[in-house]
Amino acid sequence: MQNEGQLVIFELADQLYALPIQETQEIIRMTDITKVPNTKHFVEGIINLRGSIVPVINLNRRLGLPEKEYDESTRIIVTEFNGQKVGMIVDNVQEVGRYTGDEVEPPAVAGDNVDYLKGVVKKGEELWLLLNLGKVI
């Protein structure tokens, strides 16, 4: 891990999560999502992003967290993984934060969704849960 990196900090069910900025393409406002039948339960549907069809997942549902109604602060974080763009619906995007390697600790918890975490970033009193994009998608 490099000495310093940047993370997109976002909120899910009143907890802060983070994704490395290099895995993030853009952040867009909530938009109309076309439902697609027979997809996994956490797939919300697809969107047309400037001519590209991008699948969108509900990240709260994917991680088994309580869902809230979409509102003004709901955002879609468009990521790219292995050449495939995927949008992830989050409750709120906070900021782009910096962190250093020594602020990251392994996720010291056991549970079903622990695979989705790469680590925990300690920032003062705050904890940012660092998502493992490959496992989420």
CA 35, 41, 44 angle in degrees (round to 5)? 35
Per-residue pLDDT, averaged over 67-92, amounts to 95
Q: Which residue has the tokens 């989050």?
A: 90
pTM: 0.88
Is residue 20 scored above 50 in pLDDT? yes
Q: Side by side, which strands form the sheet with 104-105?
A: 92-100, 4-12, 15-20, 126-131, 117-123, 104-105
Read off the amino acid at residue 24: T
Please write the tens of the pLDDT for every residue from 80-112. 988 899 999 999 999 999 988 888 888 766 565
> How do residues 32-54 score in pLDDT, each as one tens digit?
999 999 999 999 999 999 999 99
- Identify the bridge partners of residue 12 per DSSP, sorted by sequence position: 15
When the pLDDT of each residue in the chain is averaged and rounded to a whole number, the result is 90
DSSP-assigned beta bridge partners for residue 7: 20, 97
